[in-house]
Amino acid sequence: MRANRRSRTTIWGYLVLLGCLCLQVPSVGADVPRVLGLDQLVQMALEHSPELKQADQDIAGAVSDLDQARAAQWAQLDVTAVGGFVDNAKKPVVVVSPTPGADGQLRGHIAKNRDAEGYGPFGKLAFTLSQPLYTFGQIGHRKDAALKTVGVQRAAKEHTRGAVILKVKELYFALLLAQNGKAAAADLATFVQDARQRITRLLDVGATNVDQSDLYYLEAYAAEAPRFRAKAESGANVTYFALKQLIGLPPGQEFQLDVQELPRDTRALGEQQAYIQQALHARPEFEQLDRALEARQSLVEAAQADRYPSLFAAAIGSLAGAPGRQHLNESYIDDEFNHARAGVVLGTRWHFDLGMLQGKVHKARAEYQRLLHTRDVATLSIPIEVAQAYQEAVEHLHAFRASEQAALAARKWLVAALSTFDMGVGQARDILLALDRYGKNRGDYLSSLLNYHLALARLSYAIGAYRTPAE
C-alpha cells in the first residue's frame, strides 16, 4: 500500500512538472484574491469544519446526559390529575331498629332514599415527591460514567481536529507543488525553445553535427506538453477547489498562497522511539479509550448495584372533589371523590427479575473487556503508524537532497551541452539527453520535496502534535 501511494504521488509530480506550463488560479472580476498562509488556512478550516461542529454537538449531548445523571440524586416530583363524571350522592343515613335482635344487638341499615339523581363532575390531583436516600451506587456510578463520557467525546473532537489539520496540509503542499511546476516547466520550455533555435540554425547552414531527426526528436518531446498540461491543470484546479471548500470561502471569493516555493524544511529529526513515546502519551485515541474504559467500569458497577434495594423518603398527597356528592368525613371510610390528605413516608424499592439484571451485568463486563482489547490494538498499531511516517520522512529527506544535487548537475550538463553544440563540436543528441535528464531530475526533486513535507505532516498527526495546549 505504501509503495503504491508513493508511486502515485511521484507520477502525479511528473505530470505536474512536465505539463504545468501555465497554472491558472480562478479569479472573479476585479476582486483581489486573499493571500493566505498555512496557519491561516488551518484556522479557517477548523472554524468552518462541519466535522468539528458535529463533534461539538456530540459533546453537548454527553453534557446533557451528565446533567440528567446528576439530577437523579435530587427529589423527583410526580403529579397526576384526572377528571370525569360520577353519580351524585348525599351522605348515607343509618336507621337503627329500636328492637334488639336475638343476640341483644341493635340492627341498622342505610336508608335507600338518600341517593341523589343525575351525574356530576369530579376532579382528583395526586402528587409524590420522592427523595433518594441510599441506592448502593445506582446513581453515583451512572453519574461517573456520564462524566467520563464527556471526556470521551472531547478526545474524539481532538482526533477530528487533527484529521482536518492533516487534510489542509496535504492540499496546501499539493497546490504549492503545482505552482512550483509552473516555474520548472517554464524553465524547461525555455531550454527547449533555445535548443530548437540552435538546431534549426545549424540545419539551415548545413552543419555536420546535426540532422533533421534531431529536430523531430525535440518536437516529439515538446509535443507531450499539451497533454500533460491538461492533466496538470485539472489536478491543480481540483486541489484548489477542495482547499477552498475546506476553508469555507464563498464562491465569489478567491485566494492565493502567501509563498510561491515549497519550503525546504531540513530540521533534524529526533529518534524514532522518542516519537513513538510521544504518540503513546499524546494521541487522543488513548485518552478516548481510557475515559471509555472508566465509563464502562462505572456502568458495570451500576448494573451490579441495580440488584440491591434503594431507600427513599417521600411526601405524598391527594386532593379530590365532586360538587354533586356530599363529603363523608369519616376516618375509617375512604372517600375517593372528596378528600384532602398528605403525609411523609420512608420506603424502599427493590426490583427482582429472573436473570435480566445478571444479564445486564454480563453485557457491561463484555463491553468493558472489548474496550480493553481495542486499547491493546491501538497500542500495537499506533507505534507502527509513527514508525512508517518517520521512515518515510527520512527516506524523502535523503531523496530530495540527492535529487536537488542531481537537478543542479543536470542543468549544468544541459548548459554545457548547449555551449559545445553551439560551437559546432557537440552533438544534438547530447542536448536532448541532457534536456530529458534535467526534466526528470527536477521532477524527482519537487516530488520528493512534496513527499517529505507530507511525511512530516503525517508524522505530526501520528504523534498527536496537533493537540491544543489546553488538552
The rounded mean pLDDT for the chain is: 82
**Closest to 198 in 3D by CA, of 406, 470, 379, 431:** 431
Task: Tell me how crowded residue 10 is: count the other CB atoms within 10 A of its CB.
Answer: 17
Q: What angle do CA 144, 147, 148 make, to 5 degrees?
A: 90
pLDDT number for residue 266: 67
Is the pLDDT at 447 greater than 90, yes or no?
A: no
pLDDT for 113 equals 47
Identify which has the larger pLDDT, 224 or 74. Answer: 74
Quick one: average pLDDT of 219-236?
69
Q: Give the model's confidence band at 22: pLDDT under 50 very low, under 70 low, under 90 confident, else very high.
A: very low
pLDDT for 290 beyond 90: yes
316 strand-pairing partners: 128, 343
Average pLDDT over every residue of 282-305: 92
- Give the pLDDT confidence of 297-306 residue by residue, as tens digits: 999 999 889 8
Confidence band of 48 (pLDDT split at 50, 70, 90): very high
Residue 183 has pLDDT above 70, yes or no: no
Which carries the bigger pLDDT value, residue 342 or residue 201? 342
Is the model's pLDDT at 197 over the cut of 60?
yes
Domains of the chain and CATH, by start: 2-75+134-308+354-462 (1.20.1600.10)
Q: Is the pLDDT of residue 388 over 70?
A: yes
Predicted confidence (pLDDT) per residue in 75-119, tens digit: 999 999 999 999 888 877 666 556 565 666 655 555 554 556 788
- Give the model's pLDDT for residue 297: 92
**CA–centroid distance for 99 within its chain:** 92
Which of the residue ranges 131-135, 159-163, 201-205 would you say has the lowest mean pLDDT?
201-205
**For 401-412, what is the mean pLDDT?**
88
Q: How many residues does the chain have?
A: 471
Q: What is the pLDDT of residues 422-440, one digit of tens each?
A: 776 777 778 878 877 887 8
Mean pLDDT of 64-68: 94
| Cell numbers for 109 | 341499615
pLDDT in tens, 311-323: 999 999 999 999 9
Which of 117, 116, 120, 98 has its CA nearest to residue 108? Answer: 98
pLDDT at 360: 82
Least reliable range by pLDDT among 166-170, 178-182, 201-205, 358-362: 178-182
Between 182 and 20, the more confident residue is 182
Q: What percent of the chain is predicted at pLDDT more than 90?
A: 45
Rounded distance between C-alpha atoms, residue 199 and residue 188, angstroms: 16
Q: What is the pLDDT of residue 333?
A: 80
Q: Do residues 236 and 21 make contact, with C-beta atoms less than 8 angstroms apart?
A: no
Of residues 464 and 205, more confidence is placed in 464
